[in-house]
Amino acid sequence: MRFPQVRTGQRFAYQGMQYTKTGPLTASEEGSGEQRMIMRSAEVALLDAEGKPEASTKQQYTRPELEVEIQRFKTSLVSGVKAAAEDDGTLQLEQVLALIQCTQVID
């Protein structure tokens, strides 16, 4: 992910060091507390509470990869709608829209 996508206060790794974002272009190095400017284009990795890199989300896809992801989402959505319809026998438009908003693709 790029540095501007990191929220202020989040921890991340950059060039082998760990930082906490303190401003739009600044971060504090863990340990020394030294402030450093980070370029907007810098690729960084978010850290979890234990300082391990979090799983990153792929930012760019080829057309075939994107088609696979869209099909996976559509399949997940259809199965979710069917399950919701089976629960009470009917579905209202509001229920379908709410389901779409909550659907996450699970690998």
Per residue in 78-96, pLDDT (tens digit) is 777 777 766 666 666 677 7
Q: Is residue 51 domain-resident?
A: no
Q: Is residue 67 domain-resident?
A: yes
**Sheet with 45-46, edge to edge strand ranges:** 35-37, 26-29, 17-21, 11-14, 45-46
- What ranges in 1-107 are assigned the alpha helix state H? 63-88, 93-102
How many angstroms separate the CA atoms of 38 and 94, rounded? Answer: 44
Q: Is residue 37 domain-resident?
A: yes
Q: Is residue 30 domain-resident?
A: yes
Q: Is residue 38 domain-resident?
A: yes
Provide the residue range defining the domain that includes 96: 63-102
Tell me: do 8 and 42 sit in the same domain. yes
Per residue in 1-19, pLDDT (tens digit) is 899 999 999 999 999 999 9
Q: Supply the pLDDT for residue 39.
A: 94
Q: Is the pLDDT higher at 71 or at 26?
A: 26
Q: Is residue 52 domain-resident?
A: no
Q: Is residue 86 domain-resident?
A: yes
pLDDT for 50 beyond 50: yes
Q: Supply the pLDDT for residue 88.
A: 62
Supply the pTM of this predicted model: 0.49
Total structural domains within the chain? 2
